[in-house]
Structure 1
Amino acid sequence: MMIRTALPEDAHAAVPLLFEAIGDITYILMGTDDTEKALEAMTFWFSQPANRLSYENCIVIEAEGRVAGALLAYHGSELTALDRPLLDRIASISGESGLSFPQEAMIDEYYLDSIAVDNAFRGQGLGKQLMQAFEEEGAKRGYPRLALIVELGNENAKRLYAAQGYQADGHQLEIAGHLYEHMVKRLP
């Protein structure tokens, strides 16, 4: 197995995984409730630099010669700039101005936006390896605080993150009709 930074050509494998992980939030980010159009737009943005969904913010894990998992992460202080191209696209389609997305990441944290492992490779520890790569990248960049959100009621995911040192900080947010809990971990 190999963990590496994603490349634009990984879109065909990484985008469906990220779509699965992001869920209904995808429709907000892509400005459409049509699944096919959302996947097309997501594939386009994945292959472009300097946006939230860019390959530049993605770590992949390969198994059996293919992308078996993907993780999307960025620093909260970059989120406004990373979202600008997506918001500009939605504004150009809808004619609306002053659009914004819900603020998932705090300005002082390295944020795990989404993580997913292909069904064929689940249960083999790939998700844990991606999480470790995320934490190592945060440490390498000198970020003292890591964060993620977990849907309220998803106790399995919350237990998994808690076992890795993430703690709920009491902050909750609603995105796409779902309630999420913010969890953080401080790096030494």
Structure 2
Amino acid sequence: MQTQEKIRIRRADVADAPFVALRVISALGVENPDDKIVECMTAISAMDEVLYSWRNAWIAECGGVAAGMLLAYDGANYALWRQRTFDVLKDMMGYDLTGMQDETCAGEFYLDSLSVLPAFRRKGVARQLLEKVLGMASAQGHSLITLAVAPDNTPAFVLYRSLGFEKKGMLHIFDYDYEKMEKLL
């Protein structure tokens, strides 16, 4: 296992938008995205005040190489940012997601997307990203942290449970069912 000293967690900057976009796409389970999806998500990730903005992301680096990303935000911003994000998705891709269930709401700090490159998995990258962002959320006064995870993602369930998250129901988002998990700080 890689030592923690070799993993550096930092806030993303606008130059990370392409990496953030690819990691969000990966977190959604899309293995080989077409160029149009990558272009659209990169455009969104370069924006401010949208769900998948670089401003909401933390990057894990191993040996100076971007290894993973965690995207998280205050649920109080969700409704407005969702509208802006979904408007871009509709304009650029033709996706109409207006009927999709809300992922989060005011009173929650939402861990939207966590993705680690395959070469860096099982080396503590995801755990360190989560610990960093959970600490930041606590310092900002958030007391309820939530996330959605695919029911068949056993490694993620094990990790989230080890950090104190518990299952709290189901969400139907992006045409798939996800477990909603929460943690009280």
TM-score (norm 2): 0.86
Q: Please report how far the alpha carbon of residue 40 of structure 1 lies from its aligned counterpart in structure 2 after TM superposition.
A: 0.5
Structure 2, unpaired ranges of 5+: 1-6
CA–CA distance in structure 2, aligned partners of residues 91 and 128 of structure 1 = 34
Q: Please report how far the alpha carbon of residue 160 of structure 1 lies from its aligned counterpart in structure 2 after TM superposition.
A: 1.8
Q: Is the 8 A contact 2:73 2:109 kept in 1?
A: yes
Q: Could you say which residue in structure 2 is the equivalent of 1:123?
A: 122
160-169 or 88-97, larger mean C-alpha shift = 88-97
Q: Could you say which residue in structure 2 is the equivalent of 1:173?
A: 171
- What SS does the corresponding residue of 1:130 show, helix, strand or coil? helix
Q: Is the 8 A contact 2:50 2:84 kept in 1?
A: yes
CA–CA distance in structure 2, aligned partners of residues 167 and 96 of structure 1 = 32
For 1:78-117, list aligned pairs within 5 A: 78-92=77-91, 99-117=98-116
CA–CA distance in structure 1, aligned partners of residues 148 and 59 of structure 2 = 20
Q: Could you say which residue in structure 1 is the equivalent of 2:3?
A: none
Is 1:136–2:150 an aligned residue pair?
Answer: no
Structure 1, unpaired ranges of 5+: 25-33
Q: Please report how far the alpha carbon of residue 167 of structure 1 lies from its aligned counterpart in structure 2 after TM superposition.
A: 0.5
Change (3 A) 1:103 1:161: same
**Runs (4+) of structure 1 moved beyond 4 Å?**
90-98
Change (3 A) 1:143 1:66: same
CA–CA distance in structure 2, aligned partners of residues 98 and 15 of structure 1 = 18
CA–CA distance in structure 1, aligned partners of residues 55 and 43 of structure 2 = 13
Q: Could you say which residue in structure 2 is the equivalent of 1:57?
A: 56
Q: Could you say which residue in structure 2 is the equivalent of 1:12?
A: 18
Q: Please report how far the alpha carbon of residue 90 of structure 1 lies from its aligned counterpart in structure 2 after TM superposition.
A: 4.2
CA–CA distance in structure 2, aligned partners of residues 140 and 156 of structure 1 = 27
* Residue type of the alignment partner of 1:179: D
